[in-house]
């Protein structure tokens, strides 16, 4: 059901991209929109992980450098029957973590120095299980594709507004007489908002899913609950300096950049209180060995 819902959302975003392109530029606009979608999805598929790691300043680490992190990761990866992702540490005091990569065989997990310092073993296990769940569910690839399609829609709408200012919009006078101009105007202003809402819904859904899958992977939710409580408290006091806003959607909790933020209505992450409440209500049946 979750896979079906994700697929429907991606299809809706793709259809919206094509419709926006057609409404703004006619057949040529439709072709441009398709080309943008293919190009941006290709870039996301092959390079989104490298871009996220490079932009955050993440450094690869060895088992000798962070034995506790490797021990937790190797134990959980074996339990989930997943390859061990490449591990990175970000020189950042604010505690956080993210996973990236197009599939389990090309996955990386990055944690900040602040997270390693603040989390006890049970909390670190909960965080790593959450990130491994993103890898297992192909969430990183899905969210990257959604982000690029939504970005392409916004870019096309911006092009449409620019064309409107200088008198060129849609497919000509005949299209305007048939209401094409009005449709294009609606697309220019409403499509980016709709694309953003779909993208945010998808992002929030995958966070709830990763919390649940991670708790089941560990066998109990209490380590992740405690970790989320710590992450929420410290990220309200310690501004994030290394992670760029473009990487914020990948993080286990929304970073604080030391300035005012938009309402939680437009956040890529569900409210922490809601995530913790969902974990408290989770029923996990202990496995019998």
Tens digit of pLDDT for each residue in 243-274?
888 788 889 998 988 765 444 556 778 999 99
9/220 Cα distance (integer angstroms): 30
pTM, entire model: 0.77
The top-scoring range by mean pLDDT among 19-23, 120-124, 232-236 is 120-124
pLDDT of residue 85: 96
Domain annotation covers residue 272:
yes
193-227: pLDDT as tens digits? 666 666 677 778 889 999 999 999 999 999 999 99
pLDDT of residue 176: 45
CA-nearest of 130, 99, 94 to 255 is: 94
120-138: pLDDT as tens digits? 999 999 999 999 999 998 8
Domain annotation covers residue 286:
no
- Clarify whether 64 is annotated catalytic: no
- For residue 3, pLDDT beyond 60: no
Q: How confident is the model at residue 175 (pLDDT cuts 50, 70, 90)?
A: very low
pLDDT of residue 202: 76
Domain annotation covers residue 20:
yes
Active-site entry in 92, 123, 125, 131? 131
Q: What is the 3-state secondary structure (H, E, C) of the chain?
A: CHHHHHHHHHHHHHHHHHHHHHHHHHHHHHHHHHHHHHHHHHHHHHHHHHHHHHHHCCEECCCCCCHHHHHHHHHHHHHCCCCCCEEEEECCCCCCEEEECCCHHHCEEEEEHHHHHHCCHHHHHHHHHHHHHHHHCCHHHHHHHHHHHHHHHHHHHHHHHHHHHCCCCCCCHHHHHCCHHHHHHHHHHHHHHHHHHHHHHHHHHHHHHHHHHHHHHHCCCHHHHHHHHHHHHHHCCCCCCCCCHHHHHHECCCCCCCCCCCCHHHCCCCCHHHHHHHHHCCCCCCCCC
Structural domain including 176 reads: 2-280
CA-nearest of 86, 131, 132, 89 to 112 is: 89
Domain annotation covers residue 205:
yes
- Count of domains in the chain? 1
Please check whether residue 242 is in contact with residue 92, taking contact to mean a CB–CB distance below 8 angstroms.
yes
Planar angle of CA 137, 82, 268, nearest 5 degrees: 30
pLDDT of residue 22: 63
31/22 Cα distance (integer angstroms): 8
Domain annotation covers residue 288:
no
181-202: pLDDT as tens digits? 555 565 666 666 666 666 677 7
Domain annotation covers residue 171:
yes
Domain annotation covers residue 103:
yes
pLDDT of residue 179: 43
Crossing angle of helices 180-218/272-280, nearest 10°? 40
Q: How confident is the model at residue 286 (pLDDT cuts 50, 70, 90)?
A: low
pLDDT of residue 252: 95
pLDDT of residue 102: 81
Domain annotation covers residue 285:
no
Q: How much is the mean pLDDT over the chain?
A: 80
């Amino acid at each position: 059901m979750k896979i079906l819902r994700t697929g429907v959302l991606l299809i809706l975003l793709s259809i919206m991209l094509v419709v926006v392109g057609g409404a703004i530029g006619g057949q040529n606009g439709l072709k441009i929109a398709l080309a943008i979608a293919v190009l941006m999805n290709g870039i996301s598929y092959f390079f989104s992980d490298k871009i996220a790691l490079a932009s955050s300043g993440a450094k690869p680490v060895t088992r000798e450098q962070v034995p506790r992190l490797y021990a937790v990761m190797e134990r959980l990866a074996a339990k989930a029957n997943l390859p061990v992702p490449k591990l990175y540490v970000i020189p950042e005091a604010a505690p956080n973590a993210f996973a990236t990569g197009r599939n389990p065989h090309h996955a990386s997990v990055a944690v900040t120095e602040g997270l390693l310092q603040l989390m006890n073993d049970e909390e670190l296990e909960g965080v790593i299980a959450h990130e491994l769940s993103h890898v297992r569910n192909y969430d990183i690839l899905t969210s990257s594709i959604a982000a690029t399609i939504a970005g392409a829609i916004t870019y096309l709408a911006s092009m449409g507004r620019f064309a409107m200012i200088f008198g060129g919009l849609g497919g000509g006078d005949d299209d305007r007489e048939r209401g094409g101009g009005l449709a294009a105007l609606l697309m220019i202003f409403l499509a980016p908002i709709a694309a953003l809402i779909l993208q945010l819904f998808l992002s929030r859904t995958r966070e709830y899913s990763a919390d649940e899958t991670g708790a089941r992977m560990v066998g109990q939710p209490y380590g992740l609950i405690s970790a989320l409580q710590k992450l929420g408290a410290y990220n309200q006091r310690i501004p994030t300096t290394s992670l760029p806003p473009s990487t914020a959607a990948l993080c286990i909790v929304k970073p604080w950049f030391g300035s005012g933020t938009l309402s939680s209505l437009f956040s890529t992450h569900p409210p922490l209180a809601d995530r913790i409440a969902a974990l408290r209500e989770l029923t996990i049946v202990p496995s019998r060995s």
